[in-house]
Structure 1
């Protein structure tokens, strides 16, 4: 094990494709959580490359050469004797013993109770981060975002290999059951879908216990691969389901429902901004704190928007909605309404407005 640690200590790290994220690291100790492909490894490597090479040690716990018992036995002495100040344990799991160093950075796909570390979650790129990869800041950027989503690596993958890349990466990262849950969520993104609904669909294809399905569904939600949205004032009602990234919709399914992809994209912007929202019948998103409705209508015109407002008039009145925002692909403007301010705004402008 000492030979392997020496090799890892001497190796030159690279982060040649790294583009700065909103989450940045400093000299404190962190636990960084995030789904596969969210960019955790690139983030920590980019940080280490700003430090003196002899001061850090980067260990990928998924390295098959690592024997955990030997690592636990040797790591503290190795770091002490080499005066290592910064230790990164990527793909960390609890079997690895935490040692005493000046700065510890732990990266993992799920959260562990390590209260002495500052916990941060790294999500796939939001639209503002995505723009750092783009050469043009116009409508083509939104179209490109809809095609490749928020996984930074997708910028380096050719069009013909994108679906294969996503399928391979997430079949490896997830269990067979978890991947099937993700696949089902992708087919029903933006719709009401419960763990029981998923069980009913999957039991037709494979032998499965309800308890196992429920546990895996909860894990997928906790780890951030799928998100759920509650109905306003009805916490026990079936939740709507959304994907952690829109790219799954067209890389692991053959469905081309643009409206659902667009709605998922809008949801993710609010989720990453920690905006509390709910759905209701006919209402895509309602933000109580701002008394605002968000409608996802990529190709709306004034006529279709008027019809939509008529269909949700009772909700607007009963909740005293002050503002209605209709997010579109490119249409913009305002229309008059007796109770609420109504604004039509392109997604690119809306996503960058907060």
Structure 2
């Protein structure tokens, strides 16, 4: 039982855990989420409530671990050592779960099991980012780094010249092969764009050999584990969806083509996605929260005079859908626009995200 004995010796008590808005609160929990969003650190935080002898941590991505040995001996090992917490990291449900008081599973395969609570871990929102950004006390500086290098916990405090390289490595780590890497790149390159899967497939097929079924299946997997989001147009299920990534800065990490507006819109989307169950887009409106009668538009460098024509189009759509409030999110502008029937706020991202 060499694998189990070695896993049982692991001690996480000295790991420095940074506070998150999400925690493990249920003794039987299945954790999913995109790569490097902090799933493991949530588990380490949970384990800090127990003595080392009370838990066993098994990582199925650790090539030293013999999966067959784990499968055949885990039940007996748990009983012999009176283990209270079983952690299965990167588990693909290769075998039936044994009995244990607490079972915490992290997986890329979203699964619903009776008696288990499902938790999805997203990357940091801006408020969480500020709590972990120990290098910058200036909110403008923090915003600039958040925008440029994204929302992944491990990237925050590494040296600036290594950040883009690390983001590239994270993308490669997610890809099981070269084909999946090309799919990820294609999706990240098209954030905040209205593109059908067929359009994307046709584009990729001209570069590499890939079947339509494989492309669609991979996109579905990436959607299921919240690596990619496909945003629907309100009341139009067949309309082309908009694409968003769980980390807006991946575009900057894989391409020299600057798409500032696209990255900015993706950043706004990520502040909304965990707060509202239903988010849509409309013509001329980036995000529509029907339950709040709220429209949100990202205009990084807002100027009332320059966007006058755009505002007229937005007002028209708002009136059609009986939307009462408009938030225009900017990089740094802050002003009020008077309108007889609508409430309109022009707010810098950092102020809006923290409100």
Secondary structure of 2:156's counterpart equals helix
**2:9 corresponds to 1:7:** no
Equivalent positions of 1:29-68 (< 5 A) are: 29-68=28-67
Provide the rounded CA distance (Å) in 1 between the counterparts of 2:78 and 2:105. Answer: 16
Provide the rounded CA distance (Å) in 2 between the counterparts of 1:274 and 1:286. Answer: 10
Aligned 8 A contact 1:9 1:57 in 2:
yes
C-alpha root-mean-square deviation of aligned residues, in Å? Answer: 1.6
Post-superposition Cα deviations, 1:202-258, rounded to whole Å, max 9, x if no partner, equal 111111111111111111111211111111221100001111111201112222211
> Does 312-321 or 206-215 show the bigger shift?
312-321
Deviation (angstroms), 1:17: 4.4
Deviation (angstroms), 1:27: 5.4
How many matched pairs? 352
Tell me the residue number matched to 1:283. 285
Q: TM-score, normalised to structure 1's length?
A: 0.94
Secondary structure of 1:98's counterpart equals coil
Provide the rounded CA distance (Å) in 1 between the counterparts of 2:352 and 2:310. Answer: 20
Aligned 8 A contact 1:191 1:241 in 2:
yes
CA gap 1:286/1:105 in 2 versus in 1, 3 angstroms: same
Deviation (angstroms), 1:164: 2.2
Aligned 8 A contact 1:226 1:243 in 2:
yes
Tell me the residue number matched to 1:83. 82
Aligned 8 A contact 2:190 2:243 in 1:
yes
Aligned 8 A contact 1:15 1:45 in 2:
no
**2:332 corresponds to 1:330:** yes
Provide the rounded CA distance (Å) in 2 between the counterparts of 1:276 and 1:304. Answer: 31
Q: TM-score, normalised to structure 2's length?
A: 0.94
CA gap 1:249/1:215 in 2 versus in 1, 3 angstroms: same
Provide the rounded CA distance (Å) in 2 between the counterparts of 1:12 and 1:233. Answer: 51
Tell me the residue number matched to 2:114. 115
CA gap 1:332/1:279 in 2 versus in 1, 3 angstroms: same
Tell me the residue number matched to 1:163. 164
> Does 22-31 or 169-178 show the bigger shift?
169-178
Of residues 227, 245, 250, the one that matches 1:248 is 250
CA gap 1:301/1:14 in 2 versus in 1, 3 angstroms: farther
- Runs (5+) with no aligned partner, structure 1: none
Aligned 8 A contact 1:183 1:253 in 2:
no
Secondary structure of 1:59's counterpart equals strand
Tell me the residue number matched to 2:312. 310
Of residues 136, 157, 177, the one that matches 2:179 is 177
Deviation (angstroms), 1:133: 1.1
Equivalent positions of 1:200-349 (< 5 A) are: 200-349=202-351
Provide the rounded CA distance (Å) in 2 between the counterparts of 1:152 and 1:96. Answer: 32
Provide the rounded CA distance (Å) in 2 between the counterparts of 1:96 and 1:305. Answer: 58
Tell me the residue number matched to 1:99. 98
Post-superposition Cα deviations, 1:97-134, rounded to whole Å, max 9, x if no partner, equal 31101100001123123232111000111111111112
Secondary structure of 2:306's counterpart equals helix
